Amino acid sequence: MNIVLGAGLTGLSVAFHLVKQGKRVIILEKTDRTGGQIRTIEKDGFVFETGPNTGVISNPETAELLRTLHPNCVTQVADPSSSCRLIWKNGKFHALPSGIIGGITTPLFSLQDKLRIIGEPFRRRGNDPNESVGALAVRRLGRSFLDYAVDPFVSGIYAGDPMRLVTRHALPKLYNLEHTYGSFIRGAVTIGLSGFKNARSKGVTKEIFSVRGGLSQLTNSLADAIGRENIILSADSILLERSEDRWRVSFASPSGRFDLNAGRVITTLGAHALSPLLPFAPEVEMNKIARLRYAPVVQISIGIRNIGKRNFRAFGGLVPSCEHQDVLGVLFPSACFNGRAPEGGMLFSLFAGGIKNPHMVELSDREIENLAIQTFHQMLGFPPDVEPDLLHISRHQNAIPQYESDTGERLSAVNTLQNRFRGLTIAGNLRDGISIADRIRQGASLIS
């Protein structure tokens, strides 16, 4: 028997693959629902996410899972207009350029850096394996590219600080472009010419996706396929003990305290939740794992029933930290996917906080609402007499793990514990990437 701890996307994904292999699985989940950080709510004609809004079909495992779950879970690919990304500068949004003309005319980057980019393919390769994303960006592209492209991009994914995230761990594809091909531009062109065709044959389209009815439909379909009878919700005070070559897993539930025996236990919880479950693990190793920092994030869904003649045809807008605003960015989910807002209306998903502004999650509802309304008027351009029809606040204290300079030590502690305690797998987004596609891939990789 296999016991999976946590019914977020990782736990559901690994359990789904184990069940497909004919193995017996029980998931123990602390809360009274499946999905973890993924949660879709339907209210007043709006369908909104309180956590992640979109995934990317960036690996074969994600493509395969979406195919397998169809038609219980129907993939929605984002409208082509979502290729437009907006960046806030000097009081307004500007489109992030994608072509040469846009690259020359954009006000986002300095003239010096625009000229400098021509030399990027000829710049020397870095030799610091722990170089931060920020340092790498300045070295290869220039300061204005860090400020108005890389910093907001990193905010959008990690709600993190580019000067602290280690490229090799946080953005391994970017790291490999430089280390394999010597340059971002050369690497992107080479992959574009050779690798993309191969990836496409495995269904890797790089498209942005959600699913009809919202991302909870994805986790609900996984839970249905695993079998709801194999998922124990409201399982509290879980404790693992090694007895001979098996694991004894005890937990409390509303109907009493129970013990299960398993050959294998897979944890998918955050690093902050692991220590009490594994009292037998040496403190020195546990500390290396528990030290992982998480960015706290506040997400606010804003809905409006009638946008008049306003146009929001883009994925959304990101706000560079050098612009000193209280928001990290605002996504336009209803511009990307049908069925998120009433006809003629619009749904926005606003993010604030992050590793640089952790205090934002502590603000009162009233203060967060004021921020949302201010953003609605000043950033999204609605006149002062127009009010949103929907405001919904979600706080995530431990939202996004930061793959910073302690990552190497954490990964080696995970390996040490896994080697020492047979049948224990420490998974989840404390390693192997934070995105939805990374979580699905990790789930598929843990079946042997």
Ligand X SMILES: Cc1cc2nc3c(=O)[nH]c(=O)nc-3n(C[C@H](O)[C@H](O)[C@H](O)COP(=O)(O)OP(=O)(O)OC[C@H]3O[C@@H](n4cnc5c(N)ncnc54)[C@H](O)[C@@H]3O)c2cc1C
Q: Return the DSSP state at 150.
A: I
Q: How far apart are CA 52 and CA 49, in angstroms?
A: 7
Q: Which is nearer to ligand X, 402 or 429 (CB)?
A: 429
Reading phi first (left if > 0) and then psi (alpha if -120 to 50, else beta), residue 244 is in left
Contact positions with ligand X (CB under 6 A) in 151-210: none
Instruction: For residue 428, state whether it binds ligand X (rule: CB under 6 A).
Output: yes
Q: How far apart are CA 230 and CA 20, in angstroms?
A: 13
Instruction: For residue 264, state whether it binds ligand X (rule: CB under 6 A).
Output: no
Residue whose tokens read 């497909």:
20
Contact positions with ligand X (CB under 6 A) in 382-401: 396, 399-400
Q: Name the residue type at position 434.
A: I
Contact positions with ligand X (CB under 6 A) in 269-288: 269-270, 273
Q: Which is nearer to ligand X, 141 or 222 (CB)?
A: 222
Instruction: For residue 134, state whether it binds ligand X (rule: CB under 6 A).
Output: no
Instruction: For residue 436, state whether it binds ligand X (rule: CB under 6 A).
Output: yes
Residue 301 CB, nearest distance to ligand X (Å)? 11
- Report CA 36 to chain centroid distance, whole Å: 12
Which token pair is 396?
């995530």
Residue 139 CB, nearest distance to ligand X (Å)? 27
Residue 31 CB, nearest distance to ligand X (Å)? 4
Instruction: For residue 434, state whether it binds ligand X (rule: CB under 6 A).
Output: yes
Q: Which is nearer to ligand X, 36 or 303 (CB)?
A: 36
Which residue from 28, 208, 347, 426 is in contact with ligand X, where contact means CB under 6 A? Answer: 28
Q: Provide the edge-to-edge strand list for the sheet that holds 256-262.
A: 236-243, 246-253, 256-262
Instruction: For residue 10, state whether it binds ligand X (rule: CB under 6 A).
Output: yes
Which residue from 3, 18, 25, 36 is in contact with ligand X, where contact means CB under 6 A? Answer: 36
Q: How far apart are CA 329 and CA 319, in angstroms?
A: 5
Instruction: For residue 51, state whether it binds ligand X (rule: CB under 6 A).
Output: yes
Which residue from 6, 134, 152, 317 is in contact with ligand X, where contact means CB under 6 A? Answer: 6
- Report CA 175 to chain centroid distance, whole Å: 19
Note whether 53 and 333 are within 8 A (CB): yes
Residue 353 CB, nearest distance to ligand X (Å)? 9
Could you tell me which residues come within 8 angstroms of residue 197 by beta carbon, excluding any fewer than 6 positions away? none
DSSP-derived 3-state class of residue 146? helix
- Three-state SS across 280-292? CCCHHHHHHHHCC
Q: How far apart are CA 394 and CA 50, in angstroms?
A: 6
- Report CA 255 to chain centroid distance, whole Å: 35
Note whether 57 and 209 are within 8 A (CB): yes
Instruction: For residue 65, state whether it binds ligand X (rule: CB under 6 A).
Output: no
Residue 274 CB, nearest distance to ligand X (Å)? 8
Residue 159 CB, nearest distance to ligand X (Å)? 8
Instruction: For residue 238, state whether it binds ligand X (rule: CB under 6 A).
Output: yes
Tell me the window of 36-44, 123-131, 185-193, 317-325 that interacts with ligand X (CB under 6 A): 36-44
Note whether 400 and 170 are within 8 A (CB): no
Instruction: For residue 5, state whether it binds ligand X (rule: CB under 6 A).
Output: yes
Instruction: For residue 435, state whether it binds ligand X (rule: CB under 6 A).
Output: yes
Q: Could you list the residues that contact ligand X (CB under 6 A)?
A: 5-11, 28-31, 36-38, 51-55, 235, 238, 268-270, 273, 297, 299, 396, 399-400, 428-429, 434-436, 439
